[in-house]
Amino acid sequence: MADITSLEDAISGLIRDGDTVAMEGFTHLIPFAAGHQVIRSGKKGLTAIRLTPDLIYDQLIGMNCVGKLIFSWGGNPGVGSLHRFRDAVQQGWPAPLKIEEHSHADLANAYVAGASGLPFAVLRGYAGCDLPKVNPVIKKITCPFTGEELSAVPSLRPDVTVIHAQQADRQGNIMIWGITGVQKEAVLAAKRVIVTVEEVIDEFDARANAVLLPHWVIDAVCLEPGGSYPSYAMGYYERENDFYKSWDSISRDREVFKAWMRRHVLNTNNFFEFTRSVSAAKNKEDLHG
Amino acid sequence: MAEGGWSSDEMMTVAAARMLKNGAVCFVGIGLPSAAANLARATHAPDVVLIYESGTIGAKPYVLPLSIGDGELAETADIVVSTPEIFRYWLQGGRVDIGFLGAAQLDRFCNLNTTVIGDYAGPKVRLPGAGGAPEIATSAGEVLVVLRQSQRTFVDELSFVTSAGHGSGGNWRAETGLPGMGPTAVITDIGILRPDAESRELILTEIHPGFTVADAKKSTGWPLQVAEFCVETLPPSAAELTSLRELNKRSAHAHVGY
């Protein structure tokens, strides 16, 4: 049963140090508000799963919340590298980061298996690819019917999945549209679920096959308008591509990064204050400060 | 800017766009492949079906997307499906004619690296990783690769194989049981390379105007083989150049920085 609650309470009550946490959203609906609250609450030693770590995990890694990363594409989309992720892998800063690396198809299948209550997923892939040499959980399996050699990977069962969606109703049912990535599978694979939403409304205007998640698979629903900024929420606001571009210089240097995180995330109480802090800096053309 | 009034990057994108037949179903990577695929759609191939790994099928972006999941792609797509569905039903299910990929590095058999330069455990350069590429390389009917050619990108030996091209060459793909044909062409800023029918080693088959075979050899990290009849690429037409520049101009305008 979903409680409609504050994000602060949801994060402190549902995520524990050392948990395996999936914060999903494929370019669209990335749960930045929740990511920031994880940083503010000082969570440590998380195993963080995400197909595309994006800026949200760059921030979590740079703030030393993550001990291990399970991922399939670690870049700043359309811009270049994730500098905090790279620094952690190449230089061990702020702490050594264990990585478990897959492909998108593999992780997507692994969430499906998790949501389906199966121990592993099967896919056609990885032949001639070096990933199985560096990731021992990618195994070969022979089809019992045709003899074809395929790849098997363990299912993903996060302790906690966190997503951002457009709408909840007053019972805590969730509606989400546009690019929906792996969110449905990541929610149904998880033991506990936190959903932040743009809006809480009385009744959905939904066709029968819209993507709905019922309140009884969700533990906490938190109203966080703008909560996926600088990614986007279809129907609400667009992706701020400029923020992704400026992140390149904010994140490149350790001290600049730390100062930025202190000023805009640690020294603000919530995401609303964060967005005000960033837009005030932007108006002064001082986004890096 | 070359003699004819276009840049080598423009020649590369135009040459890559020409490879797409009208109506082809094309799984597109972000960056150079996306630019070429959208140029094709704006010129000779208005009915090309563009699929992006964010689950957008039949996307018709007016500006080039900055990310693989820009709102523009979802808003203009025929259908939007989940990530598991795009990889399971559409790609692995055999619905994709052409996979259009970029890479950081490739070798003579067109195996691709987008993972690390140097040792995996202690890399010299950590690259973004696999994304959707390994399965695109496995399951697409054929694969086109577009990247700038240099000693740094065309290497004798890859640090890491992220996506299989023709493996160790010859009949490797068939023997390994991979469903797709694998790479059929590599389009660069210098020319076009295609795998030899038997050895599957990349050979230079076209050279862009303004470049020589010696330029191509100098920009390749292995002794590059040249086709017996290596022809000069047809220069970009006025229509191709106009379409490409308009596309780039409105994309730059849409993604303008601070």
pLDDT digits (tens, 9 = 90+) for A186-203: 999 999 999 999 999 999
**Closest A-chain CA to B65:** A78
Q: State residue B67's pLDDT score.
A: 85
Residue A1 pLDDT grade (very low, low, confident, very high; cuts 50, 70, 90) = low
Contact list in A for residue B65 (CB cut-off 8 A) is 78
3-state DSSP percent of chain A in helix, strand and coil, to 5: 35, 25, 40
| A207: its two tokens | 């066709």
Q: What are phi and psi of A112, to 5 degrees?
A: -60, -45
From the CA of B194, how many Å to the nearest CA of chain A?
A: 20
Q: State residue B160's pLDDT score.
A: 98
Task: Say whether pLDDT at A289 is over 60.
Answer: no
Q: State residue B2's pLDDT score.
A: 47
Give the three-state DSSP class for A160: strand
A155 DSSP 8-state letter: P
Task: Say whether pLDDT at B17 is over 60.
Answer: yes
Mean pLDDT confidence for B141-165:
98
A112, A234, A242 ranked by CB distance to B74: nearest: A234
CB contact under 8 A, A182 and B84: yes
CB contact under 8 A, B30 and A72: no
Bond prior to A94 in cis (omega within 30° of 0)? yes
- Residue A241 to residue B75: CA distance in whole angstroms: 17
pLDDT digits (tens, 9 = 90+) for A213-272: 999 999 999 999 999 999 999 999 999 989 999 999 999 999 999 999 999 999 999 999
Task: Say whether pLDDT at A151 is over 70.
Answer: yes
Task: Say whether pLDDT at A284 is over 90.
Answer: no
Q: State residue B152's pLDDT score.
A: 97
From the CA of A214, how many Å to the nearest CA of chain B?
A: 18
| A162: its two tokens | 């966190």
B244 DSSP 8-state letter: H
Q: State residue B258's pLDDT score.
A: 34
Mean pLDDT confidence for B76-87:
97
Contact list in B for residue A126 (CB cut-off 8 A) is 134, 138
Q: State residue A282's pLDDT score.
A: 83
Q: Among all residues of B, which ones are annotated catalytic?
A: 53
Expressed as residue numbers, the domain containing B215 is 8-253
From the CA of A141, how many Å to the nearest CA of chain B?
A: 14
Domain extent listing, chain A: 3-102+157-245
B186 DSSP 8-state letter: E
Task: Say whether pLDDT at A83 is over 90.
Answer: yes
Domain CATH for B190: 3.40.1080.10
Residues 6+ apart with CB under 8 A from A151: A106, A122, A123, A124, A125, A126, A132, A138, A139, A140, A141
**Closest A-chain CA to B123:** A90
CB contact under 8 A, B67 and A86: no
Architecture of domain A3-102+157-245: 3-Layer(aba) Sandwich (3.40)
Q: Is residue B110 part of a domain?
A: yes
Whole-angstrom Cα Rg for chain B: 18
How many domains is chain B built from? 1
**Closest B-chain CA to A183:** B82
pLDDT digits (tens, 9 = 90+) for B201-249: 999 999 999 999 999 999 999 999 999 999 999 999 999 999 999 999 9
CA atoms within 13 A on the CB side of B71: 16
Q: State residue A250's pLDDT score.
A: 97
pLDDT digits (tens, 9 = 90+) for B102-118: 999 999 999 999 999 99
